[in-house]
Amino acid sequence: MKPAPFTYHDPRTVSEAVGMLASLDNARVLAGGQSLMPMMNFRYVMPDHLIDINKIGELAYLRFEGAALHIGAMTRQRELEFSAEIGTRCPLLHEALAHIGHRQTRNRGTIGGSLCHLDPSAELVNVTALLGGTLHAASQRGTRDIAFAEFAAAYMTTSLAPDELLAGVTLPLPDRRHGYAFVEFARRHGDFAIVACSALLGLDRNGDIKEAALAISGLGHAPVRPALIERALVGQKPGGAEFKAAAAEAAKFEATADAYVTSVYRQHLARVLTFRALEQAARRAAEQAHG
């Protein structure tokens, strides 16, 4: 299982890289390699040009600015995992990262790579959907901001133009007082989730839900933000009956099927994990309120 031959390019700047994307046919961008290299080894993908962006220093950054977290596309998952500031200011991200692959894959894997690969159940994709992240694309034509909802175009297909490079992502930070949760079901430790669900709950002074956000991955090509369910939670007390109702609604979304997993099972997991995520988020919200 050896890759087919290609011409290798290793640009040092974004400007060089987008120049290559504009001029080379059948080119692929190599980031962490944890998704692309297997495909190349299997010869599922045979680019004529491989643009290795690992040497573009300007793409690796991690910056907190106000209420947002700015992450360069080439920031390694490991760096996110070890960032103490993310631990305090966006612990949801750490909870998601704990499920991603294995140490070896996080040492090389990047947030940009994960977002561009757009696996339906990828944890970083889910969190970006939940937080309403903005993707920053660069090309010879300039830069372009893309809301996540517009970024995920189809199954494992982003809305990036062929000559665009993902340069970074901005994640609005959740309110510190919000309860959060990231739960998933996978067959084994580190496997891709079959279904994942993340949740943010903000409570008012009475302990009622004033804000709710959910992102359910694994049903369709991108995480589902169930607006109706989120709205229905607002004004409710965080409790079993309300969460059961939300969970039951979550099971009604259409879900894909493949040779291993039925759509019925995915829908069932959506119900179970939505319930568990809301419970967990509510527990943490209560702790924040009293803590």
Q: Which residues bind other proteins (CB under 8 A)?
A: 1-8, 10, 33-34, 37-38, 41-43, 50, 52, 54, 78, 101-105, 107-108, 185, 187-192, 240, 244, 247-248, 259-262, 264-265, 268-269, 271-272, 275
Q: Minimum distance from CB of 86 to other proteins (Å)?
A: 18
Residue 97: CA atoms inside 13 Å, Cβ hemisphere, count? 22
Which candidate, 37, 26, 109, 127, places its Cα nearest to that of 73? 109
Q: Of the two residues 63 and 103, which places its CB atom closer to other proteins in the complex?
A: 103
- In single-letter form, the type of residue at position 159 comes to S
Smaller CB separation from other proteins, 266 or 284? 266
Task: Please say which residue, 31 or 131, places its beta carbon nearer to other proteins.
Answer: 31
CB of 202 to other proteins, least distance (A): 23
Closer of 42 and 155 to other proteins (Cβ): 42
User: Least Å distance between CB 164 and other proteins?
Assistant: 23
Residue 66 vs 259, nearer CB to other proteins: 259
CB atoms within 10 A of CB 24: 17
Smallest distance from other proteins to CB 268, Å: 6
Rounded least distance, CB 37 to other proteins, Å: 4
Residue 81 or 175 having the CB closest to other proteins: 81
Nearer to other proteins, 187 or 252 (CB): 187
Minimal distance, residue 133 CB to other proteins, in Å: 26
Q: How far is the CB of 57 from other proteins (least distance, A)?
A: 14
